[in-house]
Amino acid sequence: MSFISRREAGKLLIAGCAGAMASAGDLLSVTRINSVVRGVQIGAQAYSFRDLSMDAMIAAYRETGIGECELTEVHFAKPNTHGSDVNEWRLGTPLSFFTETRRKFDAAGVSLSAYGYIFRPELTDAMIEQGFKQARALGLDCITTSTKIHMVPRIDKYAQQYKIKVGFHNHDVTSDPEEFATAESFERALKGASSYAQINLDIGHFTAANQDPVAFLRKHHERIVTLHIKDRKRDHGKDYPFGQGDTPITEVLHLVRDNQWKIPANIEYEYNKYYQGLDTIAEVKKCYAYCRKALES
């Protein structure tokens, strides 16, 4: 795939958005970005571009050649803060905002696969339900979330009502029994839940928690809605550029490829926390190139 410059990406985005506003028919002429490699959809978690504005982030997908986005609230105006401001924004923002956001992605030729909405334990039922309303306004049937295990029944109730899958995301906090962190914690959390309660497996965090993402993927692939691809060291080690940590990225991608499992593999660029002066788009391109090489090998 040939890449375009940031300036060209911005022009395409502006032109595309204008076309989307003009008529739905214009969207049919948009060239959608194809980042499927050997049958595996390579995408990126929007958090990877957290230092960019919404429009710049969408343009970055075109520049990197990545055609699938797992959107998060981090690029929206209010949720850059925490607590009551976030909750006020969630309940007060019209659903038309999310419909227009979807149009921006469509106009740029970028597919949306899921919506990242954090179901914190203190949320009211109305705020839990609002996440499902927003996902539906985005035209999505999947939410990914970081939350606590005891929240699963509350969330699952709305997942069944709205017929939207929820992929529960893991971290490496093995000391807290309420965290999604290990194979046992996932199995315990989802026991008795509906089929809408699923898994967003972060293979980097899973490795850092001294778990085996390859074995877990083999056993639970039917319940995994998306993968987060990052490279971390075991024993709660830090994030590294792809190929320098302990995470079996290549083995995981080969497993998805060889079994033709329709599980998006979404790059989550986080290692900049430990390295100064890195360019986000350049680094995401490197991550994408690593995944392409792995799948083509």
List the chain domain ranges: 6-296
Look at residue 36 in the predicted model and tell me its pLDDT.
98
Intervals of the chain under pLDDT 50: 1-25, 78-81
pLDDT tens digit sequence for 170-228: 999 999 999 999 999 999 999 999 999 999 999 999 999 999 999 999 999 999 999 99
Look at residue 28 in the predicted model and tell me its pLDDT.
55
Token couple for 222: 């039917």
Look at residue 226 in the predicted model and tell me its pLDDT.
98
Look at residue 34 in the predicted model and tell me its pLDDT.
98
Token couple for 65: 């050649």
Look at residue 21 in the predicted model and tell me its pLDDT.
44
Q: Which residues partner with 45 through β-bridges?
A: 70
Look at residue 89 in the predicted model and tell me its pLDDT.
83
Compute φ and ψ for 110, nearest 5 degrees. -110, 130
Look at residue 86 in the predicted model and tell me its pLDDT.
77
The 10 Å CB-count burial string (b at 16+, else e) for 191-214 is eebeebbbbbbbbbbbbbbebebe
SS3 92: helix
What span, in angstroms and rounded, lies between the C-alpha atoms of 183 and 5?
Answer: 42
pLDDT tens digit sequence for 135-149: 999 999 999 999 999
Q: Which residues partner with 81 through β-bridges?
A: none
Look at residue 84 in the predicted model and tell me its pLDDT.
59
Which CATH architecture best describes the domain 6-296? Answer: Alpha-Beta Barrel (3.20)
What pTM was estimated for this model as a whole?
0.89
Look at residue 75 in the predicted model and tell me its pLDDT.
82
Q: Are 272 and 14 in contact (CB under 8 A)?
A: no
Token couple for 44: 């990126």
What stretches of 23-151 show up as alpha helix (H) in DSSP? 54-64, 84-92, 96-108, 125-137
Compute φ and ψ for 132, nearest 5 degrees. -70, -35
